[in-house]
Chains A and B, each alone.
Chain A
Amino acid sequence: MNPIEPASSASALHTAPWALFSLVLAMGLVTYLPRMLPLALLRHMKLPPLAHRFLRFIPFAALGALIFPGILSSTGSDQVAAATAGGITAVLLALFEMNLILVVAGGIAGAFLWVQLML
């Protein structure tokens, strides 16, 4: 409401709409730049072999880091066992190279059934 109100006060919830909107736009900008700059700058560059191998390994490294240990807390804070059950189900389905949708459904079902059966 009041545009002079300091943004950092605990009353951020009552901050002027334009200030909130600028914040969202600023969050969007700092999210967009890291997504866009490497694509724009590196695309036509022929990189040395070492850098090329590094970038080729990034997906596997990133997925490994994204999966573990985050998966353990993915179904709630006290639900490590349920998450493990879902994770193992997903691993088994993935080893048999099932369709990605089935792997996702299996992971959800594994975690869900564990909670239902253990309660």
Chain B
Amino acid sequence: MPSLNRHTRPEATLVEPRHGGVSADIRRGVTAGIPIAIGYVPIAIAFGLLAKSSGLPNWVGMAMSFFVFAGASQFVGVNLLVLGAGFGEIVLTTLILNFRHFLMSAALSQRLETNVTKKWLALIAFGVTDETFGVSALRSEAKLAKGFVLGLNVIAYTAWNAGTWIGLFIAEGLPEALKNSMGIALYAMFIGLLLPSMKRSREVMTIALLAAAIHALLRWLPIFAGLSAGWTIIIATVLSAAAGAAIFTKEANRS
């Protein structure tokens, strides 16, 4: 009975005592998000440059970063617009590219502290990206404070939009070699998040390597050539997390 457990648990144990309240949580989130900001700015600049060179009005790029806030689908969106694709196709591609956030948001739903109102939830949900999810999901605390997640989202969102504006109105100056090298920033961040957990847990090691291997097969084998990046990430993630859930039945202690 799912609901029994929840009601018998005393409310007091659900809310961990913390120092400093919501604004301190937000500051912690902003600090934890600095690596995301470092990674977002160059990519957002690249997006701004692409949007400008596409011939679309500047406000389109700005509006995409403001309302969509999703890297890959913004790049694809601009490309499809230039190619003259139909709006339906663009919206569907966006949905497929971002559907993996469904999984991430589902995982996050089990980690968020319980005293979160609908307004906070609406705000927190808007900021779920691969990167904000990666940073918050690999925190050591059992329950994530809403202020922390919001702070993380705010710095990521600010960096993304600031980068877009720089790309649209200022950039061009950055040397090509440095711009290219910065493309690795977010991957390096993912590595920095994942490896310490892989080192400590055989389960995590197995699942992460399995996901990478499955994803490589899906990208490289010709028979899967028709699958878009959105699908291959979803399939690799679901398969390896499901395999992990089936194999590692003992509740491992959180590291």
Measuring CB to CB, which residues of chain A are less than 8 angstroms from any residue of chain B?
A: 7-13, 17, 19-28, 30-32, 34-71, 74-76, 79, 82-83, 86-87, 89-91, 93-95, 97-98, 100-101, 103-112, 115-116
Contacts and interface: CB of A to CB of B under 8 A. Distances in A.
B67 A61 contact: no
A27 B39 CA distance: 23
Given A31-B69, A65-B236, A86-B188, 19 more contacts: A7-B87, A12-B82, A12-B85, A20-B60, A24-B60, A54-B244, A55-B107, A59-B137, A62-B134, A65-B211, A69-B220, A71-B184, A87-B188, A89-B188, A101-B35, A103-B191, A107-B191, A108-B182, A116-B177
B34 A101 contact: yes
A110 B49 CA distance: 25
Interface string B15-48: 0000000000000000000110011000000000
Nearest to B96: A30
B116 A43 contact: yes
A98 B199 CA distance: 14
Q: Chain A's interface: helix, strand, loop or mixed, by majority?
A: helix
25 contacts: A8-B84, A8-B85, A23-B87, A30-B94, A31-B69, A31-B95, A31-B101, A36-B125, A37-B105, A43-B116, A47-B110, A53-B248, A56-B107, A58-B103, A60-B197, A61-B240, A63-B190, A65-B212, A67-B194, A68-B212, A69-B212, A101-B34, A104-B185, A104-B192, A116-B177
Interface of B: 2-3, 5-6, 34-35, 38-39, 54-57, 59-60, 63-64, 67-70, 73, 77, 81-87, 90-92, 94-95, 98-110, 112, 114, 116, 118, 121-122, 124-126, 128, 130, 133-134, 137-138, 177-178, 180-185, 187-199, 203-204, 207-212, 214-216, 219-220, 232-233, 236-238, 240-242, 244-246, 248-249, 251
A61 B112 contact: no
B238 to A, nearest CB: 8
B188 A64 contact: no
B248 A74 contact: no
A100 B81 contact: no
B201 to A, nearest CB: 9
